[in-house]
Amino acid sequence: MHPGSALAGYAVCALLSLAACDSKPKASAAKPAANLGATAASAVLPSKEPHADHDCATAHPAEPRPPAPTATALSADARARVTSLRISAPRGSVIVRRGEDGWTIGGARGCTVDGARIERALDNLSATTAVSTSERPASGDDFELQLVAQIGQERALHFDIAGRSDGTDLIQLADHTTHRLSGLDRDLWSPDASVWCAPNN
């Protein structure tokens, strides 16, 4: 082959290669520094906050709280549906829960509570009577005992109990009103699990 012809061939190939390179899109050119920062950030952070497309407060409105229990005795209906009794004091607390196998107390000191004791306790809460009063606990005195009867998560009865005088107990209900309660058997409402678990008690 003539040397001149070979050189001409190489020149044509070189021109074709340059043309092919120039025909590629230039969109892949380096982005400005600001855009690089945004791209790096978007690779780490989510593009938008969860629920950004709607108002969660509207989609999931808060359920209204049930009214505070103001009963001063268990009604027959509430008594039949009570699922737990909670007794609390400055020293000690116990929760007795109704289950398929009767009323039980959980924990290391737990037990199945004698059914007769539960019946006496529910009888007691069903028979109390109350008279409204403006009396408040003496200055500096705390409530001595709290009794709560619940139906599921709803409180059916709530007593904060202060001192006893003249055979009646000063109680405050969940709505902060105070009453003089008659008929409460303090001996039944121990905050000590061992008392509830004692046989024939």
For the chain, the structural domain boundaries read: 76-197
pLDDT band for position 142 (50/70/90)? Answer: confident
pLDDT band for position 43 (50/70/90)? Answer: very low
Report d(CA 101, CA 81) in Å as an integer: 16
pLDDT band for position 65 (50/70/90)? Answer: low
Looking at residue 29, its pLDDT comes to: 43
Token readout for 157 is: 């009865």
Among 174, 152, 154, 81, residue whose Cα is nearest residue 122: 81
Question: Do 101 and 49 touch, CB atoms closer than 8 A?
Answer: no
Q: Is the pLDDT higher at 44 or at 166?
A: 166
Token readout for 61 is: 């409105």
Asked whether the predicted pLDDT for residue 14 surpasses 70, the reply is no
Handedness of CA 132, 135, 150, 63 (dihedral sign): positive
Percent of the chain with pLDDT over 70: 64
Token readout for 85 is: 């009794």
Asked whether the predicted pLDDT for residue 17 surpasses 60, the reply is no
Token readout for 76 is: 């027959």
Question: Do 113 and 196 touch, CB atoms closer than 8 A?
Answer: yes
Beta bridge partners of 102: 99
Average of pLDDT values for 1-11?
45
Question: Do 81 and 97 touch, CB atoms closer than 8 A?
Answer: no
Average of pLDDT values for 9-23?
44
3-state secondary structure of 157: strand
pLDDT tens-place string over residues 79-114: 999 999 999 999 899 999 999 989 999 988 889 999
Looking at residue 200, its pLDDT comes to: 74
Residue 83, CA distances (Å) to 61, 123, 149 in order: 28, 15, 8
Looking at residue 69, its pLDDT comes to: 72
Report d(CA 173, CA 69) in Å as an integer: 7
Token readout for 37 is: 């920062």
Beta bridge partners of 132: 179
Token readout for 74 is: 């268990």
Average pLDDT, the chain: 77
Sequence length of the chain is 201
